[in-house]
Structure 1
Amino acid sequence: MDTFADLLDSAEEWCAAAIEDAQEGRWVRDAVERQVMADIAAATNALHGGRQAPFTGDAWQVRMGRIANWAGVLRLAARAGRWELHPVVGHRPPRPAGMAELLSGIYAIGEQGERWMARFLRERRTPAEKEIARAEGFLTGPGSMEDLHLFFYDD
């Protein structure tokens, strides 16, 4: 069975591939891709008030919900641009990587948030603190997906 560490490593690899290919000029975002990324940033505002992850002072439902929200936003983004989301664990991102690979990498973490939330609602079980903290750090804060626009030089 895949572990959360495998999932996070794969998500990071897929996102890094897309960012690297953009920075090296192998992927040049078009106007739709730039707008979709701006919309993702607006829709996934963590409302953390400048606090840094992990958000240990927040209720578990808020923490898991903040992560799970990314999944729905990314599904909508993928549909809007007609990009296909791919499983990332056990797969290398195709190169050159682009929008589909970037969204797939981020989606993997959001989807895990949805699984955590469903399990919490069903069984009242929470994920390990270390896992949710790592997911929060991947999505929120300096150098995270929240800062994604800073990694692209084509604006």
Structure 2
Amino acid sequence: MDVFTDRMDDAWEWWAAAVEEAQEGRWVRDAVERQVMADVMAATNALHGGRTAPFTEDGWHVRIGRIANWAGVLRLAARAGGWELRPVVGHRPGRPAGMAELLSAVYAIGEQGERWMTLLLREGRVPPEKEIARAEAFLTGPGSVEDLELFFYDD
């Protein structure tokens, strides 16, 4: 497997672990976790106008920037709640999984966006379209991070 595929697969594993813990009732978000999640969603609004990923009609800077913006927002969210972002690639999510695992999963994709943006700005290189599309689909659209609130029953 390539580096991006490993990152994406492991991010989904960590995301799924946190969602499973919540759906099984082993992780019930507290008020801070609910507010942080609401703030993350507000700060990362993809402004896609109801379009579904991939956003092929948008320019590379917009597409990659939309992904990269998640990284900064998640670093702030982790600091606000006192959670530690951990690397997901090659690691299993902690159990019980909770907010730290969830934020780490999503951060892995945002961090990839930052790496892509650096390559685009410094070298003019664009990652494979398929990888950008997969990252966009992870973050926005049905069953994605954008729909995350639907997976929690603790409101």
Interval of TM-score (by shorter of Structure 1 and Structure 2): over 0.9
* Closer, same or farther: CA 67–134 of 1 in aligned 2, 3 Å: same
Match of 1:153 in 2: 153
Are 1:6 and 2:6 counterparts? yes
Are 1:134 and 2:103 counterparts? no
Residue aligned with 2:68, SS: helix
Match of 1:66 in 2: 66
Following the alignment from structure 1 to structure 2, what is the Cα–Cα distance between the partners of residues 34 and 153? 11
Following the alignment from structure 2 to structure 1, what is the Cα–Cα distance between the partners of residues 2 and 138? 18
Are 1:104 and 2:104 counterparts? yes
Match of 1:37 in 2: 37
Following the alignment from structure 1 to structure 2, what is the Cα–Cα distance between the partners of residues 3 and 93? 18
Following the alignment from structure 1 to structure 2, what is the Cα–Cα distance between the partners of residues 151 and 85? 21
Match of 1:119 in 2: 119
Match of 1:56 in 2: 56
- Across the aligned residues of Structure 1 and Structure 2, the Cα RMSD in angstroms comes to 0.9
- What is the letter of the counterpart of residue 137 of structure 2? G
Deviation at 1:3, TM superposition (A): 1.4
Q: What TM-score comes out, normalization by structure 2 length?
A: 0.98
Following the alignment from structure 2 to structure 1, what is the Cα–Cα distance between the partners of residues 8 and 88? 9
Following the alignment from structure 2 to structure 1, what is the Cα–Cα distance between the partners of residues 129 and 8? 15
Following the alignment from structure 1 to structure 2, what is the Cα–Cα distance between the partners of residues 125 and 119? 5
Deviations 1:36-83 (A, max 9, x none): 000011000000000000000000000000000000000000000000
Give the length in aligned residue pairs: 155
Deviation at 1:2, TM superposition (A): 5.2
- What is the letter of the counterpart of residue 33 of structure 1? E
List gaps (5 residues or longer) in structure 2: none
Following the alignment from structure 2 to structure 1, what is the Cα–Cα distance between the partners of residues 4 and 61? 19
Following the alignment from structure 2 to structure 1, what is the Cα–Cα distance between the partners of residues 36 and 62? 25
Following the alignment from structure 1 to structure 2, what is the Cα–Cα distance between the partners of residues 21 and 152? 10
Following the alignment from structure 1 to structure 2, what is the Cα–Cα distance between the partners of residues 146 and 22? 17
Following the alignment from structure 2 to structure 1, what is the Cα–Cα distance between the partners of residues 69 and 141? 16
- Percent identity between matched residues is 81
Q: What TM-score comes out, normalization by structure 1 length?
A: 0.98
